[in-house]
Structure formats: C-alpha cells, structure tokens
Structure 1
C-alpha cells in the first residue's frame, strides 16, 4: 500500500495531498500496530488474568491472514482443540500464547488456563468495544489511503522519479505500507534536482520484492529480539 504522485492541478495542491496522505498513513500505521495480534509468553496471560484485563478469549490454531496484504489484521483460526489461547484486553489489544510445547492432556498448562478463563467467561463472545472499533478502523484507513494513492497515481502528473508502474509496485511494499513514506520523501520533500529518472515498472517490481523480503526477515529478527509485544504480528 502506498501513495504516489500529485494531480496535474496547481502546484499549491501538492503539499495538501502530501499532508493528507501522511496523516492518513500515520493513523493507519499506529492503529495497525496497536491492534495487531501479539505473540507473547504465558507470563502475559498470568498478568492479564490477575489484573482482570481479559475481555474475551478463545482457543485457536494458527492465523487467518488473508486481509493483511490489504492493510487488515490477522484473525485467529478458532479451534476448540487448538493449542493457542488468544485473548483481548480492555484497550483493544490482542495477545496470544501457544502452549503446544507444554502438552495438551489433563493437568497441562493449556488445560489449566482454559479452566481459569472459562471460570471468568465463556470462550468467544464480545471482544470488547475498542477491539471491535479497531477491527473496522484499521482496514478502513488502509482502504482510504490506498484509494487516495490510486487517484493520485492515475490522474496526477507523472512522477519525477520512476513511472507510475514503478511507484505502483513499490507502493505495495510491506510491512506497514512503507512505500507511502518512500514516495512522500522522494516526490514531496526531497529537493528537486532537475533530473528526471524514468525507472520502469519492472524495476519497481524487482525492488518491491527484494526490499519486501529483507524487511520481512528484519521484522522476524526484531520480533525475536524485542518480543511480540513490541513487534506484533500473527
């Protein structure tokens, strides 16, 4: 998801479009970071249970991430026999712990946590108002920023650096739509040099694939180093 070039109207409109896209991207990125599922250890579940911060919960097995590419959130794949416990907090965050390594029989940590959670409330049910709002707001903001980008890309003047297809492919750059920031810097804020680079769509596709792969590996590394609560993701 990204944001290319401005319209062919007056130059004065350009800062407005850049500002709108930046604000939209920031709102989406912060909301997506906050609401994305956080893989944590059982200590987090103990803390949330002790503090009464479990609004809703369910057993699950893996994630359904079909909508993540378009800016949505991964959803737990509900399974009553699943080894993963997923719960939501009053602030709208989703956390998950996978207890497969600790066994699944009677008396196992999975069995004990399930009993404790069931004593509080039945599995499933209402995840809480903040979680409901975020589940709609995150993909909604992603669509709004994406549509603004498409309108600007199709109807605007040609970019100074790269073709429309070049920015289209870079605009799909994950994670968190970093292609938006790349375009904002290159086309909006970097001082004009007088040079016009017509990078092709094929080059944009190659760059998008290569940089996306590097960023995905980097995200996994950061999640391992900093923990799932800081670097969320299903």
Structure 2
C-alpha cells in the first residue's frame, strides 16, 4: 500500500504475522533448558563429612538424611534420578541440602554404600548425626531454594503444552500422534522433544510425509532403546568427567 504526502512517497510494508506455533516452540525449548539446568544443579554430588560440618557451621545446610545405599528411581528413563534407601539409624551415607539448592552426599565410616546389605552405624556417623541434630534443635536449619517446586511446575506446564500441541496441531506426517507421544515421554530427559519440534508439523511446514507413518509401537520401542543408550552414556561420562560435571550417585 502506498501513500503520497506532498513530495514524499511513503510505502507501508505489511508486517509478518506472528506464528503462535513458533512462539510455543521457543517456550517449550526454554522450559526444557530450565528443567535440565535444575536437574543438573540439584543432582547429588559426592562430597565429604568435613564439608557437611563446614556447611553446617556456615549456616548453609538446610536438611539432611541418612541411608544405606542409592537406588535408581528413574531406571533407564532418567539415569539422574536416584533415591537414598535406609533401614533406620545414621550411616553410612549422609545426604544434605544447602541453601543454594544443591545436594551433596558423603560416605561416613568406611564404604559399602553401593551394596544391598544393611550396614550398622559407625562412631563417626553417630557423632556427626548428634552434631546435626543438636544444631537443628538449638538454632533450626535455614530454608532452601524451592527448586523442586519450580521444576515440578515447569514439568507440569510443559506436559500440558505438549499434550495440547500434539492434539491441536495438524495431523503429523512422519509418525502418528501415538508415535510422538511415546517418543517424547519415553526418551530419557525428554530428548525426543527436540526431534518432534524440529522435524514434525506444525513446527516444520516443510516436513516430508511418509507413505507409512511410524506407529506408536515404534515410538515405544525407540523410547526403551534410547533409555538404555542414554543411561550408558551418562554413566560413561560420569566415569570420564567426574561428579562435578556429571553428578550421578554411586
């Protein structure tokens, strides 16, 4: 459209329309990055009993628990998710949280935290437990950053947006909606989300259709196989780079 004002010719150029699908794609990626960052930051990292005492003295320790061994809560699908199992009493593994939202653990009174046997408490564990409880009773432990609540909120919001987009979007051309559902939810750390966002409609208008679309059973199988592969990769990187970069409890 052209307007004439005196000797000046002004041409109005139409602004490109905002694609809400593209905005949603950016939101999903940013949400994934935030969740991944919180997962890495708050994953238990190996430390020492001396560091636990230092955090307690400095007022950084917010909560603690004792356990016998680590057990994977996420299995193949989330190798970073581990829980501390206990048969009661302090030792041999101390897990504590600090005010910056991080988790640390230490093996007290020897080792054996990776075994499935029940281990009795040793003198150092008993002494450290007494110090922690005495401090808690006398002064109380400070509050921690609510990273767990933030992560759960991001996960719920991302899940709702993903399901809404999968149902509302045009029919996919590479795989069925069940294929993408199982792939995105089954691949560890939601890495299948990036394939869906990059290759499928409506995120990629140039997505080429297949004569036979990939089915939900294929997505389920790919999720399982990728779970095994990612778990092996995480454990390999942990052995190579250490807990500082790839924190995985042993």
Q: Report the TM range for the smaller structure's normalisation.
A: 0.7 to 0.9
Is 1:139 paired with 2:152? Answer: yes
Q: Which runs of 5+ in 1 are unaligned?
A: 1-9
Deviations 1:21-55 (A, max 9, x none): 1122122221222223x140426536535655322
SS of structure 1 residue aligned to 2:61: coil
Structure with higher RCO (Cα < 8 A, 6+ apart): 1
Contact 2:97 2:144 in 1 (8 A): no
**Cα distance change, pair 155–94 in 1 and its aligned pair in 2 (3 A):** same
Partner of 1:167 in structure 2?
180
Residue 215 of structure 1 and its aligned partner are, at CA, apart by: 0.1
**Cα distance change, pair 176–149 in 1 and its aligned pair in 2 (3 A):** same
* Structure with the bigger percentage of helix: 1
Q: Compute the TM-score of the two structures, normalised by the length of structure 1.
A: 0.75
Q: 2 CA distance for matches of 1:49 and 1:13?
A: 49
Partner of 1:4 in structure 2?
none
Q: Which runs of 5+ in 2 are unaligned?
A: 1-16, 113-118
Q: Compute the TM-score of the two structures, normalised by the length of structure 2.
A: 0.71
Q: 2 CA distance for matches of 1:77 and 1:162?
A: 41
Contact 1:88 1:128 in 2 (8 A): no
What is the aligned-residue RMSD (CA, Å)? 3.4
Deviations 1:52-104 (A, max 9, x none): 5322222234467668979x965544643442111111101111223351785
SS of structure 2 residue aligned to 1:55: strand
Partner of 1:179 in structure 2?
192
Partner of 1:192 in structure 2?
206
User: Which residue, out of 217, 223, 233, partners 1:218?
Assistant: 233
Deviations 1:183-205 (A, max 9, x none): 22223776836443611212111
Partner of 1:114 in structure 2?
129
Q: 2 CA distance for matches of 1:21 and 1:226?
A: 29
Work out which of the two has the higher radius of gyration on C-alpha atoms and give 1 or 2. Answer: 2
